[in-house]
Amino acid sequence: MLMTHSVPKQPFTTAVRKALQGVNNSAIEADLLFLEAWEMHPSSHLGVTLRASQIRRANPDLAAAIDAELKSAPSTRNKS
C-alpha cells in the first residue's frame, strides 16, 4: 500500500483558524478547510456542492464568518 504524507494546509481565514484551535480530528480539519476553499472558489460540480452544503448546514456561524471575512478582504476571490 502506498502511503503519502502531506504537509497540513494552513487556513486562509481567521474564522477557520479559530475554529480549528483544539481540533484533533483530521476529518473535521479536512471538512473545515474544504469549506473555506469552497467559499473562496465555489464549484458547480454536484458532489462538491453537496459536500459544501452539508458542511455549511452543520456550521452556519462558521460559514457566515468565512463569507464575511472573504468579502471584507480586497480581491480574495479573484486571485490566482
Q: Which residue has the higher pLDDT, 33 or 7?
A: 33
Please report whether residue 68 resides in a domain: yes
pLDDT (0 to 100) of residue 76: 46
**CB 76, CB 70: distance < 8 Å:** yes
Dihedral angle, C-alpha 43, 10, 20, 76, nearest 10 °: -50
Residue 42 counted as domain residue: yes
Structurally, the chain folds into a number of domains equal to 1
Res. 5 pLDDT band, cuts 50 70 90: low
Return the C-alpha cell found at 13.
481565514
- Best CA proximity match to 64, nearest among 51, 55, 75: 55
pTM above the 0.85 mark?
A: no
| Domain assignment of residue 49, yes or no | yes
Domain extent, residue 42, equals 26-72
